[in-house]
Structure 1
Amino acid sequence: MKCSPTSRTFTQDLLAILDEHRGLVAALVFARAFDDPDRTVFPQLGSDFAELLGSAEPAMRVESEARGFRGLPSVHVRFMFGLAITMSLRGDRLFTASDRPDWETLLDELTALTLNGFGSSEKLTN
């Protein structure tokens, strides 16, 4: 299935924002690991991304229906975002300097995974 320019632009913009604000994103992601397991000091920290990601669910629902995706659009949005965060914060640790793909390849692969990786309509079985 062909990737739409809009999908690629969305992924490109998301990665660019995460990369540009890498320090802030890292602080938000890792802050929950320290000193506030009951969310009393920073009660909203656990849901900082929830509202933003919730706003992307309708678009993912439309894509899911059009492409016959199996599963929950709300989960797909969060998996895609998690992959983007991982590549932004830890991409340099996932590849060696000699085998790290260029930016355009990473962008193409994440876009393709987002659009096609959830594409099987078959349920998984053990």
Structure 2
Amino acid sequence: MDIVLTVVIGILAIGGALCVLVSAMAMLRVEDALSRINVLSPATGLGLPAILLAAYLNHLTEVGHDWIDLIKVLVAIAGFVILSSVASNTLGRATYRSGAPIDPKTSPNELAQAHPDHRRD
């Protein structure tokens, strides 16, 4: 059982680190600010929770079970997922409304399409 848990911890830690690495490499390749914000989502929504879960499981094998630590980890994971979604949407909208240039390959660009029932004040 110890070997299985060690393998699971390794897979979670390496998988989470790979998500962060891929997001960092993608940030260097994208052309505009809006896309840079979007490529951060896998790192904060998937990579960091996987790393945190791996750290908790490692702590669990060394120290043992503690309800307070489990609650802390669950709150932190929920915080990563929720805050990642809200922050990406907020930063993306702010970037678009600021007039920052958008890569012409961005398709579909639904924010640029005028809707007859919405007015921009």
On whether the aligned pair clears a TM of 0.5, the verdict is no
Give the alignment's TM-score, normalised by structure 2. 0.32
Give the alignment's TM-score, normalised by structure 1. 0.31
More helix by share: 2
